[in-house]
Structure 1
Amino acid sequence: MNELTFGGAPGIAVLTAYAVIMLGIGFWVSRRRPGVRDGLKSYYLAGGHLGAVVLFFTLYASQYSGNNVVGYAPAAYRSGFTWWQSVTFMTAIIGGYLLFAPRLYTVAKREGFVTPTDWMRYRFGGARGPLLAALLMLWALANFLLEQLVAMGHGIAGLTGGTVPYQAAVIGFVVVMLAYSWMGGMRAVAFTDVMQGIALLVGVTVLLAGGLWLAGGSLGGVVDHIIANEPEKAAVPPVRDSVNWLSLVVMVGIGAALYPHAVQRIYAADSERTLKRSLSRMAWMPLVTTGVVFAVGLIGIRLFPGLDDTESEQLVGLIANEVAGINVFFYVMMILLFGGVVAAIVSTADSVLLSLSSIISKDVYARHIAPGADEKKAVAVGKGVGVAAVAVLLVLAWNPPTLLVNIFVLKFELLIQVAPAFILGLYWKRLAEGPVFWGMAAGAALAGGLVLAGVEDVYGVHGGLVGLALNTLVCVVGSLMRRPGAGPVPVPGVRDAERSAD
């Protein structure tokens, strides 16, 4: 995001207001519920009592981060109509949730799950499978958090017109994020998400309206301009690109639904009815958020033709500068928009950090390093390691390794390898612990190897899905070859979940 001509003092004032509100929410939650910082379930899952409205907004604010505005509009600018895939894969995430969320919720609520790997430990037993899954999830969370830190720095530097430099911006809001999440845990994160989700929804809508005003008032006119001047961006894509599109839809649809912080929001729902109501509302969000950002990217093709890849990363700031010059209303709204963008980035980062800390607390420290440690100590260790992880990622964020969209894709290659354990494990009782572990290991090794070798896809299919295919094959064939009754396959409760879901 470039430096905004309407930034400076107004931008600093808006960011300060957002920071004060976030800190106030964290303080209010900690005072209202004094024990929120002690127990694992209380701190990491808000006690499992999130209502429909708060659950919807925390799902929304976590799924739609600053990357959706700062990164997706430039991707639409560079790719044209093929980037409509962003709307389809965000829609596919809801389908991914519905594959397993209602069934998993029933078991999780009864058994008191806190982290995603609690399901694996309950379903399959053993230690190696849950540990490997935890490591894959930690990789994805660290990758995702890095993405948010990069977007946070660019967003704040742009909103303040460069008054607050990139590095100072990241450090400042990281401190704010750590403070309120430390005080209030999941409950503070969820309540700040309500504010941040509303700000993002209103902001992108006004950005689209202003962009259309500048482009002549008609999206049809924008499309005609693209067809006439850059027809390759409106052409039917080749078969390989279409395969790549479908591959990304499947990978993101399943992978994003299995984000640890997304799974924990399933656990945190007040009831199964609350969960289903929130997911049904989420089904509309790809159109009114990602679809709007896609349209903004197309408008940029008309307003700012000829930008190279690096320049196009500044597209949202370029359009916002022009929109802010229309009149006082748009000037004010653009300041609020970028404050909302920053808040949305922080809302995703805090969710990721909280989930990362929970896995460290329960799955690594309390399970393998200090078995029998009390919950208060485990929470404290998780917080400390979370702060250390942020410090390491800040060093990487100082010199971002690649474009935001590329960072976004990388994390799914390994995260999606946990899918058979969750999805097949809920539906197929014969799925066994050994094949699940070796399937995850083989799939992660293949997907990671392809990435390290620089192979982005195999005939258009992403490396993560190639790894998942091998993973699933090992799981299915290995479980079928296993003698029925040869060793424990603990599946009690799955039948109850099936009845509830039906």
Structure 2
Amino acid sequence: MIPLAAASETPSNLGPGGIAVIAVYLGIMIAIGVAGRFARKENSLGDFFLGGRSLGFVVLLLTLYATQYSGNTLIGFAGAAYRNGFAYLVSLPFMMAGIGFYLLYAPKLQKLSREHDFITLGDYIQRRYQHRWLTTAIAISGIVALGNFMITNLKAMGQMTAVVAGDYLSPAQGIVILAIIILIYETLGGLRSVAWTDVLQGILLLLGCTIIFTATLSNLGGLTGAAERLQEVRPTFWQPLDFGGCLTWVSTAIIVSLGFSLYPQAIQRIYAAKSPKVLRRSLQVMVFMPLVTTLLMVAIGLLGNIAHPGLDKAGSEGITMLVLNDYAATHPAAKWVVYVFIAAVVAAIMSTADSVLLAIASSATQDLFRPLLKTNDQKQLTLLGKVISTGVMIACVLLSINLPQSIWALIQIKVELLAQTAPALLCGIHFRKVNSRAVFAGLIAGIAIVLFFHIGHAYWPDAVIAKPLGIHAGLWAVLINLGIIWGGSRFASQSKNT
């Protein structure tokens, strides 16, 4: 990612016309928020956080899509592909496998959510295990991971501000403005407004990925010409992975797909589906969406090596805009391509940020504060959720402006933390005899291992290996987590029978 200080020096690429286009788009977002407010059926947590459980096929598909693909996809994935070459095609199977993991639990969880009026994943965990500490730990770890995710998207907002209005606004000012707009339409209509805005944002995202890939390939002389030039510029990209590289590749696919499938904002949409049939159809289509999103962005990162070789890590995070500017420079009449893609990036960032914010607010309200307040007053709890949304947004804005971490480093922490919830959810869904204390112990051990390796490697890189034996620390943590659940549940069962 371009550092905020450096990005602020980037001149505006769009000019007044492009800025006006983005301003109109943002105005539409607010209008949709107002429409969502008027469509509200009741002032309740179920209506605000789940849209009244009424999302149909098209809205559910596009809100899942827009939420799954964020500013990280359009900026971080291309940057990682620029640096790592064809090995980063791992992002394609982990995005597709994530949908496969949904199918392991989503249909049954959606049915249970309707039977018991679940609002959050914590509601299911509490009902299944009757262990308040376990529910609280899962809620807190999810909130921390989502806060991490929120910061990465706000950082991307700063970068886009430098591109859209670098002559008029600093990245920090852009972050604040876009954050306020998200708060407005989200607090007005809740998930209903967020899902409706996602329909427009999802369409823009599809258009943006397709247009920039076509434009980039055209500028490089087609697929054959691009492949030949890439062979000359980065011949190492064409070398096959060794055994260690393959092991890391598989490890990445598993841990990231596990983490992606446990997004609390995606679980909200599972609950909000109109019916099990609508949910299944949406997930079936979602399996193929990486082919028209992730694959295209990885290709853009690879092709970026041809026109802009030798970029460092910070510079490579801006490769998408560099290759797009190349196309606009050689085709002055196609300035609209830049407008569409910038709108797509802004849409991707905002669609994920608003969903993350809503998921954090719902979990904090339902899983943490409601048990403490001991109230079922829906109006009061909904108001509390809106207050929490505002507070979380303010905190994340401040952190996003000041934290120096790269997008990909933050993504790694997020998915590995979220993946530690998978054993509790999947074991609870598919096995009857699972001991709640063993599940709690497994979760805590998994989280501790993830934090130890990430923090340890950050401060003592020579002493703590980030990927022991080439396998992500988060996957080791999941395996130990599962082992503790299995061993603890078996021991508890034997003790009970003796």
Could you say whether these structures have the same fold, taking a TM-score greater than 0.5 normalized by the shorter chain as the test?
yes
Q: 2:180 aligns with which of 175, 178, 186?
A: 175
2:14 maps to what in 1?
7
Q: Which amino acid aligns with 2:318?
A: Q
Match of 2:461 in 1: none
Q: Is the 8 A contact 2:207 2:340 kept in 1?
A: no
- Which residue of structure 2 lines up, in the alignment, with residue 358 of structure 1? 362
Change in CA separation of 1:163 and 1:239 when aligned onto 2, cut-off 3 Å: farther
Answer yes or no: is the 8 Å Cα contact 2:256–2:416 preserved in 1: no
C-alpha distance in structure 1 between counterparts of 2:103 and 2:362, whole Å: 24
Out of 223, 229, 235, which is 1:231 matched to?
A: 235
Q: How big is the shift at 1:333? A: 2.0
Between 1:315-324 and 1:373-382, the stretch displaced more is 373-382
Q: Which of 266, 285, 304 in structure 2 is aligned with 1:300?
A: 304
The CA distance in 1 between the partners of 2:69 and 2:286, in whole Å, is 11
Distance 1:447 1:308 in 2: 27
Which residue identity does 2:264 align to in structure 1?
Answer: P
What aligned pairs does 1:42-191 form with structure 2 within 5 A after superposition?
42-191=47-196
Q: Which amino acid aligns with 2:192?
A: R
1:496 matched to which residue of 2?
Answer: none
Aligned partner of 2:478 in structure 1 is 468
- For 1:162 and 1:407, how far apart are their aligned partners in 2? 29
How do residues 323-402 of structure 1 correspond to structure 2 at under 5 angstroms? 323-327=327-331, 330-367=334-371, 369-402=372-405
**Match for 1:149: what amino acid?**
L
- Deviation at 1:4? 6.3
**Partners of 1:413 and 1:448 within 8 A in 2:** no
Matched, 1:274 2:281: no
Where has structure 1 moved over 6 Å in runs of 4 or more? none
State the aligned residue count. 483
SS of the residue 2:221 aligns to = coil
- 1:154 & 1:295 partners in 2: Cα distance? 21
1:428 paired residue among 426, 431, 434: 431
Superposed CA deviations along residues 26-73 of structure 1, whole A, max 9, x for unmatched, are 1011123263xx201100000111000000000000000111111111
The 8 Å contact of residues 7 and 161 in structure 1, kept in 2 or not, is answered as no
How far 1:459 sits from its partner (Å)?
1.1
| 1:7 and 1:158 in contact (8 A); partners too | yes
- Alignment of 1:257 with 2:264, yes or no, is no
Mapped to 1, the partners of 2:11 and 2:115 lie a distance apart of: 51
Percent identity over the alignment is: 35
Does residue 440 in structure 1 map to residue 443 in structure 2? yes
Question: 1:28 aligned to 2:26?
Answer: no
Pick aligned residue for 2:453 from 445, 450, 453:
450
TM-score (ref. length: structure 2): 0.94
| The one of 201, 205, 217 aligned to 2:206 | 201
Task: Report the Cα offset of residue 239 of structure 1.
Answer: 2.1
Question: 5+ unaligned residues in a row in structure 1: which ranges?
Answer: 488-502
Aligned 8 A contact 2:230 2:303 in 1: no
The 1:423/1:329 distance shift into structure 2, 3 A limit, reads farther
Distance 2:30 2:218 in 1: 37
Deviations 1:286-329 (A, max 9, x none): 11100011111121111111212222122111111111234355
Per-residue deviation, residues 171-226 of structure 1 (Å, max 9, x unmatched): 00000000000000000000000000101111111111111111112x23222222
| Distance in 2 between residues matched to 1:423 and 1:137, nearest whole Å | 16
**Greater Cα shift, 477-486 or 376-385:** 477-486
Give the aligned CA root-mean-square deviation in angstroms: 1.6
After superposition, give the CA deviation of every residue in 1:138-168 in whole Å (9 maximum; x if it has no partner): 1111011011100111112212244321001
The one-letter amino acid of 2:438's match is P
Q: Structure 2 matches for 1:478-497, cutoff 5 A?
A: 478-483=488-493, 486=496
Aligned equivalent of 1:415: 418
- What is the match of residue 212 of structure 1? 217
Question: How many Å separate the matches in 1 of 2:247 and 2:360?
Answer: 33
Q: More displaced, 398-407 or 127-136?
A: 398-407
Kindly provide the amino acid, as one letter, of the partner of residue 453 in structure 1.
Answer: G
Specify the alignment match of 2:248 in structure 1. 244
1:373 deviation in Å? Answer: 4.5
CA distance, structure 2, for counterparts of residue 317 and residue 161 of structure 1: 14
Shift of 1:425: 1.1
- CA–CA distance in structure 2, aligned partners of residues 481 and 119 of structure 1: 24
